[in-house]
C-alpha cells in the first residue's frame, strides 16, 4: 500500500516524456512503494477528442490526491474561437479552482551549468521568484472584451487578500533562505509598476503592510522594466522577488534563461491545501517524441514536490529524497556524467534520467 497518491497530468508534446523521467527518478529516490502516480487525461490533444482540456474526473482526482505532477500542456493551433489556446485551460483551471496562489520559481545557477551571463561561471545566482498565480492580468482569462473587431481590453485585478497571502509567502520564504549571494541579507524585492498604475501602487502598499511583520527581512522595490536590467547586471543581489501574475510570468522566463534555460527551471504552484509541480517550460511540440527534451526541470519539480509533501506530512524520508534528487542532478551536471542538449550536450531524455538514477543508487548523497 503506497503512502501518497499523486495526480499525474502528462499533457501534450514533451509532457509525457519528462513526466515519466521525473517519476523514474522519484521512485529511485523514494522506493517504488511510497508514491502511486495516477495517470490522468488532460491537455490540448484531449480537448480535440473530448471537447475539454481538463475532464471532471481528472479535476476531482487532482482535488482529492496528495499533489499534482504536470508535464506540459498546449498545442499551437488548438485554440478557442477567441484565439486563446485551449491547452492552457488545464493549467489555469487548476490554479484558479484549487487556489494555487504562489507560483514558486527558483532561479539558481547549478554547478557545471554555463550561464549566458559571462562572470557567473561559478554559481552566484540564487534567488526565487514568487509569482502571484490567481489574479492580476490573468483574472481576465476568458473574460476580456472584444467589440466590433475594433476594440479589445482585459482588466488587471489586484486584491488585498491575494496580495497579502503571496507577499506573506515571499517573506516567510526569505526567512528560511540564506539571503542573497551578494550580501547574505534576507530580502524581498517587490516587482511592480507602481510609478504608473494605481493597481501596482496598491500591490506595493499591501506588500509594505505585510513587511511590518518581518523586521528581519529587508524590503526592496524595483519597477518591472528596471528589474529586467538588474536580473542581467546584478542577479546576485536578489533573494526573493514577489510579482503580480503577468509580470511574474515574464520575468521568470528571463530568470530561467540566465541559469541555463527553461529546460532546467522547475516550478511549484502552491496553495493552502493543494500544490502542482511542473517544469516551467511549455510542451515544446517541435521536439516531442524524439527523446531529446531535457527532463531536468520536471525532475527538479519532482524534488520540490517531495519537499513540499515531506514538510506537509512531516515525512523525513520524503524530505531526504527530495534533497538527494537535487544533489544527484547537481552531481550529474557538474561532473558532466550526462549533459542535456539544451545545455550543449548530447544526452537524451532517457540518458539524463538513467544517469541521475545511477547516482541516486550508487552514491551516498547525504541528506
Instruction: Write down the residue that cell numbers 522547475 correspond to.
Output: 266
Pairing of strands 218-223, 266-270: unpaired
Contact letters for ligand IPM, residues 49-78 (x by CB under 6 A): -------------------------x----
Q: Is 269 in the site for Mn ion (CB under 5 A)?
A: no
Neighbours of 151 (CB within 10 A): 8
- Determine whether 225 is an active site residue: yes
Q: In whole angstroms, what is the distance from residue 366 CA to residue 121 CA? A: 25
Reduce the DSSP state of residue 331 to 3 states and report it.
helix
- Determine whether 249 is an active site residue: yes
Stretch that binds Mn ion, among 134-142, 143-151, 241-249, 267-275 (CB under 5 A): 241-249
List 19, 27, 34, 88, residue binding ligand IPM (CB under 6 A): 88
Sign of dihedral through CA atoms 179, 183, 188, 191? Answer: negative
Stretch that binds ligand IPM, among 51-59, 88-96, 176-184, 349-357 (CB under 6 A): 88-96
List 244, 249, 307, 326, residue binding Mn ion (CB under 5 A): 249
Pairing of strands 275-279, 266-270: antiparallel
Contact of 313 with 345, CB cutoff 8 Å: no
Contact letters for ligand IPM, residues 272-291 (x by CB under 6 A): --------x-----------
Among Mn ion, ligand IPM, none, the one that 108 touches (CB under a kind-dependent 5 to 8 A) is none
Instruction: Write down the residue that cell numbers 531536468 correspond to.
Output: 296
Q: In whole angstroms, what is the distance from residue 23 CA to residue 299 CA? A: 8
Q: In whole angstroms, what is the distance from residue 277 CA to residue 69 CA? A: 5
What's the closest the beta carbon of residue 57 comes to ligand IPM, in angstroms?
22
- Determine whether 192 is an active site residue: no
Residues binding ligand IPM: number (CB under 6 A): 6
Query: How does DSSP classify residue 114?
Result: P
Stretch that binds Mn ion, among 128-136, 219-227, 244-252, 350-358 (CB under 5 A): 244-252
Residues that bind ligand IPM (CB under 6 A): 74, 88, 91-92, 249, 280
Point out the residues that are catalytic.
138, 193, 225, 249, 253
What residue ranges bind Mn ion (CB under 5 A)? Answer: 249
Amino acid at each position: 500500500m503506497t503512502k501518497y497518491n499523486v495526480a499525474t497530468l502528462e499533457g501534450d508534446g514533451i509532457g509525457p516524456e519528462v513526466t515519466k523521467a521525473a517519476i523514474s527518478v522519484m521512485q529511485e529516490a523514494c522506493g517504488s512503494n511510497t508514491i502511486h502516480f495516477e495517470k490522468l487525461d488532460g491537455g490540448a490533444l484531449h480537448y480535440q477528442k473530448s471537447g475539454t482540456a481538463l475532464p471532471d474526473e481528472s479535476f476531482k482526482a487532482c482535488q482529492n490526491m496528495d499533489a499534482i505532477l504536470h508535464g506540459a500542456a498546449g498545442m499551437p493551433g488548438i485554440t478557442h474561437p477567441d484565439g486563446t489556446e485551449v491547452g492552457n485551460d488545464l493549467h489555469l483551471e487548476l490554479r484558479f479552482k484549487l487556489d494555487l496562489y504562489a507560483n514558486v520559481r527558483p532561479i539558481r545557477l547549478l554547478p557545471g551549468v554555463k550561464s549566458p551571463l559571462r562572470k557567473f561561471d561559478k554559481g552566484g545566482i540564487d534567488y526565487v521568484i514568487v509569482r502571484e498565480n490567481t489574479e492580476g492580468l490573468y483574472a481576465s482569462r476568458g473574460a476580456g472584451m472584444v467589440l466590433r473587431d475594433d476594440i479589445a481590453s482585459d482588466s488587471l485585478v489586484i486584491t488585498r487578500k491575494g496580495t497579502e497571502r503571496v507577499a506573506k509567502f515571499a517573506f516567510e520564504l526569505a526567512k528560511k533562505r540564506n539571503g542573497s549571494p551578494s550580501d547574505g541579507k534576507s530580502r524581498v524585492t517587490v516587482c511592480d509598476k507602481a510609478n504608473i498604475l494605481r493597481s501596482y501602487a496598491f500591490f506595493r502598499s499591501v506588500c509594505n503592510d505585510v513587511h511590518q511583520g518581518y523586521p528581519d527581512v529587508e524590503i526592496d522595490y524595483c519597477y518591472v522594466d528596471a528589474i529586467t536590467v538588474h536580473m542581467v547586471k546584478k542577479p546576485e543581489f536578489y533573494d526573493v522577488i514577489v510579482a503580480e501574475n503577468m509580470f511574474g510570468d515574464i520575468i521568470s522566463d528571463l530568470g530561467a534563461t540566465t541559469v541555463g534555460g527553461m529546460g532546467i527551471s522547475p516550478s511549484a504552484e502552491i496553495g493552502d491545501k493543494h500544490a502542482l509541480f511542473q517544469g516551467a517550460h511549455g510542451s515544446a511540440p517541435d521536439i516531442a517524441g524524439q527523446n531529446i527534451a531535457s527532463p531536468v526541470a520536471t525532475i527538479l519539480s519532482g524534488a520540490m514536490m517531495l519537499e513540499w509533501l515531506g514538510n506537509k506530512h512531516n515525512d523525513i524520508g520524503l524530505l531526504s529524497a527530495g534533497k538527494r534528487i537535487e544533489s544527484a542532478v547537481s552531481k550529474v551536471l557538474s561532473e558532466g556524467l550526462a549533459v542535456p542538449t539544451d545545455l550543449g550536450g548530447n544526452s537524451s531524455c532517457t540518458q539524463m534520467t538513467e544517469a541521475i538514477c545511477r547516482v541516486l543508487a550508487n552514491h551516498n548523497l547525504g541528506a
